[in-house]
């Protein structure tokens, strides 16, 4: 169907790009007929509505169809709904799920030389949480010259069922691209200063997995709407807001480009306000020196769960309790719980992970 808009579209009217949703298959879908179902998937975004073909009498259907959406706002929700096709009555609903595409687009905006990455390299991992519909950990990977994200979504509002899909981004002709919209909508992607960093100037990437807040301060009448901001030099990364929750679970990964290992890293919690300035809910310093010192040792192939170093709380760090640097699943990670300063109460649980950059100077 042709667009009703005039040919001379303004930049504001143009989409950011094209999101290709590859609907692969359904897993253990609900029975809506006597012994099976005739399922199909509907994908909606704003006034866009796309539909797969119907597969008759199959609760484990394989569609392998690609549905293409035009993206104007990265924060607009994308919903997948499964229906059972009925010939003589209304189609029965078989559950729904939402796609959180923000981690995928954030990975797309990383200024890495992806061409130097090995095929199949995992750029980012997203864990299941109460705020997403993931059934298991989802990996964003560099595959065959493209960034892709495979995910298995657990269907809501139904007794059982999952969907396996894959996301792929395309900068279509006439699209604005993610770079322009980044300045307006997203503070948690890399800014212009980081875009100018040459690969050989970087020591590597520091991935900070912001897990959850614990007993955060109230800034509204009964609760708060907290989000996290992480700063290092000119870099400023912002997580999503969890509404009405003083014990939020973010389970987000924010990635810093590390040029100077001694540069301080600060975590700040804010309460989101719609009509006034965001209220500060405390801050903490992330002491990354012990973690980087362990990485310099070049340890490899240790038994899983090996504790390499213990870091005790001191006046110089914001640790709430002992933090351990461990070898886990082939990587060195550090879990820590930070006590927030300049506030009456609150802690934030995070995890550090180091990523080597091909062509970078390393530690």
How would DSSP label each residue in 152-217?
EEEPBSSSS-EEEEEEEEE--TT---HHHHHHHH-SSS--HHHHT--GGG--EEEEEEEEEEESPP
Sign for the CA dihedral angle at 212, 218, 219, 222 comes to positive
At 271 the pLDDT is: 93
Mean pLDDT of 26-50: 93
Q: How far apart are CA 225 and CA 7, in angstroms?
A: 42
**Token pair 């690609």 in the structure block, residue:** 66
Determine the pLDDT at residue 334: 95
Q: Sign of dihedral through CA atoms 211, 215, 216, 219?
A: positive
Do the Cβ atoms of 171 and 147 come closer than 8 Å? no
Query: Residue 199's pLDDT band (boundaries 50, 70, 90)?
Result: low
- List, in order, residues 6 or more apart from 294 with CB less than 8 Å away: 308, 309, 325, 332
**What is the share, in percent, of the chain residues with pLDDT greater than 70?**
85
- The confidence band for 5, taking pLDDT boundaries of 50, 70 and 90, is very low
pLDDT tens per residue, range 201-254: 677 888 999 999 999 999 888 899 999 999 988 888 888 889 899 999 998 888
Q: Can you give the pLDDT at residue 104?
A: 87
pLDDT at position 100, please? 87
Q: What is the pLDDT of residue 173?
A: 66
pLDDT score of 58: 95
Q: What confidence category does residue 274 fall into, taking pLDDT thresholds of 50, 70 and 90?
A: confident
Q: What is the arithmetic mean of pLDDT over 87-106?
A: 88
Half-sphere exposure of residue 5: CA atoms within 13 angstroms, side-chain side: 10
Q: What is the pLDDT of residue 359?
A: 60
Phi, psi of 344 (to 5 degrees): -75, -25
The overall average pLDDT reported for the chain is 84
Across the chain, the runs of DSSP E, i.e. the strands, are: 17-27, 39-45, 48-51, 62-71, 78-84, 92-99, 121-126, 138-143, 146-154, 162-170, 204-214, 226-232, 235-238, 249-258, 265-271, 279-286, 306-311, 323-328, 331-339, 347-355
Asked whether residue 11 carries a pLDDT value surpassing 70, the answer given is no
Q: What is the pLDDT of residues 152-166, one digit of tens each?
A: 999 999 999 999 999
CA distance 339 to 221: 23
Mean pLDDT along residues 178-205: 51
Average pLDDT for residues 344-348, to the nearest whole number? Answer: 96
Is the per-residue pLDDT at 119 higher than 90? Answer: no
Euclidean distance between CA atoms 343 and 348, whole angstroms: 13
For residue 362, what pLDDT band results from cuts at 50, 70 and 90?
Answer: low
Give the pTM. 0.50
Evaluate if residue 42 carries a pLDDT over 80: yes
pLDDT of residue 193: 40
Signed CA dihedral, 127, 131, 136, 142: sign only: negative
Predicted confidence at residue 182, as pLDDT, reads 43
């Amino acid at each position: 169907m042709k667009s009703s808009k005039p040919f001379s579209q303004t930049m504001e009217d143009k989409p950011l790009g094209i999101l290709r949703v590859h609907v692969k298959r359904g897993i253990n879908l609900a029975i809506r007929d006597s012994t099976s179902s005739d399922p199909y998937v509907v994908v909606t975004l704003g006034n866009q509505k796309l539909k797969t073909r119907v597969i008759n009498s199959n609760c484990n259907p394989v569609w392998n169809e690609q549905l293409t959406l035009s993206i104007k706002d990265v924060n607009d929700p994308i919903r997948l709904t499964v229906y059972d096709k009925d010939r003589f009555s209304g189609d029965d609903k078989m559950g729904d799920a939402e796609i959180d595409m923000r981690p995928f687009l954030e990975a797309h905006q990383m200024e890495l030389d992806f061409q130097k990455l090995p095929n199949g390299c995992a750029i980012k991992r997203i864990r299941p949480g109460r705020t997403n519909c993931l059934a298991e950990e989802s990996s964003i990977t560099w595959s065959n010259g493209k960034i892709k994200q495979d995910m298995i979504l657990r269907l809501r509002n139904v007794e059982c069922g999952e969907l396996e899909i894959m996301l792929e981004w395309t900068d279509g002709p006439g699209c604005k691209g993610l770079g322009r919209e980044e300045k307006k909508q997203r503070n948690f992607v890399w800014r212009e200063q980081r875009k100018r960093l040459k690969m050989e100037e970087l020591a590597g990437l520091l991935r900070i997995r912001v897990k959850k807040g614990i007993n955060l301060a109230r800034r509204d009448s009964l609760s708060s709407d907290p989000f996290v901001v992480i700063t290092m030099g000119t870099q400023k990364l912002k997580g999503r807001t969890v509404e009405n929750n003083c014990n939020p679970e973010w389970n987000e990964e924010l990635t810093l480009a590390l040029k100077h290992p001694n540069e301080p890293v600060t975590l700040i919690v804010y309460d989101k306000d719609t009509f006034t300035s965001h209220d500060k809910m405390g801050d903490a310093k992330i002491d990354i020196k012990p973690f980087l010192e362990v990485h310099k040792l070049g340890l490899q192939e240790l038994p899983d769960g090996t504790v390499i170093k213990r870091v005790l709380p001191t006046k110089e760090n914001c640790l709430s309790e002992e933090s351990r640097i461990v070898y886990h699943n082939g990587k060195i990670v550090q879990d820590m719980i930070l006590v927030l300063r300049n506030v009456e109460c609150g802690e934030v649980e995070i995890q550090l992970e180091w990523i080597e950059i091909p062509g970078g100077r390393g530690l």
